[in-house]
Amino acid sequence: PVTIHRGDYRPPEWQIPDIALDFALGIKETRVTAALSAVRAADAPAPLLLRGDGLTPAEVRVDGAVWNDWRMDGSDLVVDLGDRTAATVEVDTLIHPATNTQLMGLYASNGMLCTQCEAEGFRRITFHPDRPDVLSRYRVRLAGDRARFPILLSNGNCIASGEGEDGTHWALWEDPWPKPSYLFALVAGDLVVNRDSFTTMSGRKVDLGIWVRDGDLDRTHHAMAALKHSMKWDEEVYGREYDLDRFNIVAVSDFNMGAMENKGLNIFNTRYILADPDTATDMDYDGVEGVVAHEYFHNWSGNRVTCRDWFQLSLKEGFTVYRDQSFSAAMGSPAVKRIEDVRVLRAAQFPEDAGPLAHPIRPDSYQEISNFYTATVYNKGAEVIRMMATLLGPERFRRGTDLYFDRHDGEAATCEDFIRAMEEGGGIDLTQFRRWYEQAGTPKLHLTLAQEGGEWFLDIVQTVPPTPGQPAKAPMMMPLRLAAFAMDGGGAALPDTLVTLTGAAQRVPLGAFAARPALSVNRGFSAPVIVDYERAPGELAWLAAHDDDPFARYEALQQLMLDTLVAAVSGEAGNRDAVIGAVARTLAGAADDPAFVAEAVLLPSEAFIGDQMVTVDPDAIRSARMALQGAIGDALEGQWRAILGNPAPAATDLSPAAKGRRRLRGVALAYLAATGKEDVAALAFGIFSSADGMTERQAALATLAHGDSDERAHALDIFYQRYRDDPLVLDKWFQVQAWSLRSDTVAAVAALAQHPDFTLANPNRVRSLYGAFAANQAAFHQADGAGYRLLADLVIALDPKNPQTAARMIPPLGRWKRFDVARQALMKTELERILAQPGLSRDTTEQASKSLM
């Protein structure tokens, strides 16, 4: 495969200011006529390079006349235009949506037609430069059978429509805003709509529509509310107004990503649109709200200002994730949202940054760009924006974003453009900060306390670990929020302080304390780093109870649990009593803030425990974690039972308090189940049966799924029978079984892969079984390698159909260096077996070969 380098960027030789597309739509066959009005941007004559993927040109015309001066270069079309400086180039192609299993380009899903073009799918529809720095105004004519495709949608505004012959009809769409090809979209199908409207800050009325299949309309209200809230929030917080008369969202079942921000016509995975209390959990509700907001926010951070090239992906994704995180925080609890965001970062991004696929948020090279839609580009990218916002403070950050949007509106910009706007708008020098864009790897801060004559100091040593291709690193600039407390209540306290770290070693004065102060550090997770600082259980317990920063309270309790678990894994006693005491004290605040308490008392995941160890021992980690869970369950049995003894809030109550109470009930049930008490299966089954919504029902089912009671089989059967025709809910049925802590989970997953309802054609279904399984550390890493084989079998079967989704399953196998030699060998064998497959995709080849290095 060819490697593409960031440094090789050259501006396009031709611009295409206008495009007219004509589609004769059919599920099996769609005829596309594209008219590109090309204008030469290069000084010297240059041929027009039009990318294609799986296309054959039926005819090429230039300025209306048949043209023969073209050739194929691999799958691309090169049109020789002599010394012309402008030309209208028309190309006819025939494409086949029904057999497009990659779900890139134009494809069929449940009888409807839809598109996915980011990053390089447009070239599967028609020949085109297909690079984000070529922006065009689109005019799109859609024609097709009226009965099959009563609804015809594209970007922008519908300016005309009419009847054709033989039961066909057509619609003409025009998008006034120039856009790159990856933002093109069309949808044709039999859809119903939830209509609403929003009046923008300048008083313009925007028609909103959420399009779904018949029967799903009742499940679109939460998405609609989220859309309206997002539109308002972006006006209030960033001064950004929507810019078309319509905004449409379409929900599709078969979708590789979560959703896509096509201009004026977002296309969503049904998973992030459909929600009602019977079928969606509170977490699903939050997912809908967050993704609707994310895609809407792209209208400015991504669409109005787009990316110059795909190396700049984090320009739009990191910024937009930061924006959706801030929005969700404002809609609910900022502290809980921050905890969730950091948990995701630690679960997905830290391992990526520590492994063979580590890359900077602005990568230097790639073979297949689809492989770079990563937690690093998205979530670490968001942390990098957040750090700039912290360094600048809200007002200067807003000046920076205003400058960025104003200066680059209508342009294809770079990460460097964003940083420069921050520097100029915020009046700050970010020279050193730019290293966050260049260097991969999670920085580590080693902290020690020093004392000189009653004055205390914090010594900070920063290291950034080597990553592939980057053996030596320089220190990063970062904002570190800290505070120090006198635990005895007497003496001074250092209130919340923002320190800007720049050096490899730095000393921070803390003030005078009579005794060693309790240190609250990286408050709010102000920098995405690993803090290495030894604190006694007493200090952690004190902070868990008294720190005035909720995130730091959470961190202190987590650290206390983590220290105890890591000790237990290596056969030491740890400090169970301190953990139990701290959990008990935290639980006492449950009535005031159940959502926070539920997060705080959760044990760290098996994977995160593994991340603390030199060599991960999945079996020892599982036993240690289950033992501690059981001990906490036993010691606080009365509290857990009391939480469950109170009636659950009505499932229709989606207030943060009600969500928090449900979350805490789920946690309480899990702790009780860990005690192994005889009545717990019946208790869980009771909750399962009487639940009036999916949050409680799924939590009870998941708890039952870990055990081997009769109730387990019964509940799984009831759930299956009730929801077998609802794909999103059936995904949960697969998922809870793949998550199970039972020792036979590998075999169970293998059996589920043969279940009649399992299919490789639907990415959600694949992820619900195999994605969940690969996250189940002890099961996936079963010592005989059966888990590795199962995942590799999936990749091999899926790659020919859907390489993008197949390649996403590789990273768990690439973590082999973290395990014992026997497992290492087994994991590498599977990666090699994958690589030996003939005709392997570029996507999977890149991920598997890099994973072996």
Provide, rounded to whole angstroms, the least separation between the CB of residue 104 and ligand DPP. 12
Q: Is the dihedral of CA 714, 718, 724, 729 positive or negative?
A: negative
Annotated catalytic residue 368: no
**Within 7-66, which residues bind ligand DPP (CB under 6 A)?**
none
Q: Is 261 in the site for ligand DPP (CB under 6 A)?
A: yes
Provide, rounded to whole angstroms, the least separation between the CB of residue 314 and ligand DPP. 11
**Within 770-809, which residues bind ligand DPP (CB under 6 A)?**
none
Do 703 and 683 touch, CB atoms closer than 8 A?
no
- Which residues are within 8 A (CB) of 215 and not within 5 positions of it... i.e. 6 or more apart? none
Structure tokens at 788: 């590795």
Provide, rounded to whole angstroms, the least separation between the CB of residue 514 and Zn ion. 51
Contact letters (x/-) for Zn ion, 267-306, by CB under 5 A? ----------------------------------------
Which of Zn ion, ligand DPP, none does residue 508 bind to, with CB < 5 to 8 Å depending on kind?
none
Residue number, 273 or 477, with CB nearest to ligand DPP: 273
CA distances from 403 to 230, 398, 430 (A): 21, 8, 16
Q: Is 175 in the site for ligand DPP (CB under 6 A)?
A: no
Residue number, 317 or 830, with CB nearest to Zn ion: 317
Tell me which stretch binds Zn ion (CB under 5 A): 228-236, 314-322, 481-489, 842-850: 314-322
Residue nearest ligand DPP, CB atom distance: 260
Do 778 and 619 touch, CB atoms closer than 8 A?
yes
Tell me which stretch binds Zn ion (CB under 5 A): 311-319, 586-594, 733-741, 774-782: 311-319
Q: Is 133 in the site for ligand DPP (CB under 6 A)?
A: no
Provide, rounded to whole angstroms, the least separation between the CB of residue 706 and ligand DPP. 33
Provide, rounded to whole angstroms, the least separation between the CB of residue 439 and ligand DPP. 24
Which of ligand DPP, Zn ion, none does residue 231 bind to, with CB < 5 to 8 Å depending on kind?
none
Provide, rounded to whole angstroms, the least separation between the CB of residue 228 and Zn ion. 20
Question: 3-class DSSP state for residue 264?
Answer: coil
Residue number, 328 or 851, with CB nearest to ligand DPP: 328
Provide, rounded to whole angstroms, the least separation between the CB of residue 656 and ligand DPP. 25
Contacts 24+ apart (CB under 8 A), 287-291: 288/222, 288/223, 288/226, 289/222, 289/226, 289/229, 289/328, 289/331, 290/324, 290/325, 290/327, 290/328, 291/258, 291/259, 291/324
Residue number, 291 or 673, with CB nearest to ligand DPP: 291
Which of ligand DPP, Zn ion, none does residue 259 bind to, with CB < 5 to 8 Å depending on kind?
ligand DPP
Catalytic-labelled residue, pool 90, 118, 295, 599: 295
Which of Zn ion, ligand DPP, none does residue 324 bind to, with CB < 5 to 8 Å depending on kind?
none
Residue number, 118 or 830, with CB nearest to ligand DPP: 118
Residue number, 320 or 522, with CB nearest to Zn ion: 320
Residue number, 259 or 494, with CB nearest to ligand DPP: 259
β pairing state of 530-532 and 444-452: parallel
Provide, rounded to whole angstroms, the least separation between the CB of residue 767 and ligand DPP. 15
CA distances from 811 to 189, 349, 358, 775, 788 (A): 36, 11, 11, 11, 12
Which of ligand DPP, Zn ion, none does residue 257 bind to, with CB < 5 to 8 Å depending on kind?
ligand DPP
Q: Is 635 in the site for ligand DPP (CB under 6 A)?
A: no
Binding residues for ligand DPP, rule CB under 6 A, total: 9
Contact letters (x/-) for ligand DPP, 262-301, by CB under 6 A? --------------------------------xx--x---
Q: Which of 90, 130, 284, 317 forms a contact with ligand DPP (CB under 6 A)?
A: 317
Provide, rounded to whole angstroms, the least separation between the CB of residue 317 and Zn ion. 5
- Which residues are within 8 A (CB) of 561 and not within 5 positions of it... i.e. 6 or more apart? 579, 603, 604, 628
Provide, rounded to whole angstroms, the least separation between the CB of residue 130 and Zn ion. 19
d(CA 329, CA 347): 20
Structure tokens at 458: 């914090």
Look at the chain and count its residues.
853
Structure tokens at 352: 């990526």
Structure tokens at 26: 């059919």
**Within 70-129, which residues bind ligand DPP (CB under 6 A)?**
118
Do 318 and 377 touch, CB atoms closer than 8 A?
yes
Residue number, 372 or 554, with CB nearest to ligand DPP: 372
Residue number, 344 or 750, with CB nearest to ligand DPP: 344
Q: What is the CA radius of gyration of the chain?
A: 28
Residue number, 103 or 746, with CB nearest to Zn ion: 103
Which of Zn ion, ligand DPP, none does residue 341 bind to, with CB < 5 to 8 Å depending on kind?
none
Sheet holding 48-50, edge to edge: 48-50, 76-79, 70-73
- Which residues are within 8 A (CB) of 754 and not within 5 positions of it... i.e. 6 or more apart? none
Structure tokens at 450: 């020093």
Contact letters (x/-) for Zn ion, 456-495, by CB under 5 A? ----------------------------------------
Residue number, 377 or 583, with CB nearest to Zn ion: 377
Binding residues for Zn ion, rule CB under 5 A, total: 2
Residue number, 230 or 320, with CB nearest to Zn ion: 320
Provide, rounded to whole angstroms, the least separation between the CB of residue 258 and Zn ion. 8
Structure tokens at 709: 């009671």
- Which residues are within 8 A (CB) of 275 and not within 5 positions of it... i.e. 6 or more apart? 219, 222, 223, 284, 285, 288
Which of Zn ion, ligand DPP, none does residue 417 bind to, with CB < 5 to 8 Å depending on kind?
none
Q: Which of 226, 260, 377, 587 forms a contact with ligand DPP (CB under 6 A)?
A: 260
CA distances from 77 to 48, 58, 183, 383, 534 (A): 8, 12, 22, 41, 61
Question: 3-class DSSP state for residue 709?
Answer: coil
The DSSP result for 192-234, as a single string, is EEEEEEEE-TTS-EEEEEEEE-TT-GGG-HHHHHHHHHHHHHH
d(CA 182, CA 130): 7
Q: Which of 140, 251, 259, 508 forms a contact with ligand DPP (CB under 6 A)?
A: 259
Sheet holding 30-40, edge to edge: 65-66, 59-62, 86-95, 30-40, 14-24, 135-145, 168-180, 157-163
Looking up tokens 């387990």 gives 712
Q: Is 331 in the site for ligand DPP (CB under 6 A)?
A: no
Provide, rounded to whole angstroms, the least separation between the CB of residue 334 and Zn ion. 22
d(CA 259, CA 740): 28
Tell me which stretch binds Zn ion (CB under 5 A): 315-323, 363-371, 457-465, 782-790: 315-323
Do 745 and 708 touch, CB atoms closer than 8 A?
no
Q: Which amino acid is it at 59? A: E
Q: Is 358 in the site for ligand DPP (CB under 6 A)?
A: no
Tell me which stretch binds ligand DPP (CB under 6 A): 69-77, 257-265, 638-646, 833-841: 257-265
Q: Which amino acid is it at 419? A: I
Burial class (CB in 10 A: 0-12, 13-18, 19+), 533: middle
Catalytic residues: 295
Binding site for ligand DPP (CB under 6 A): 118, 257, 259-261, 294-295, 298, 317
Binding site for Zn ion (CB under 5 A): 317, 320
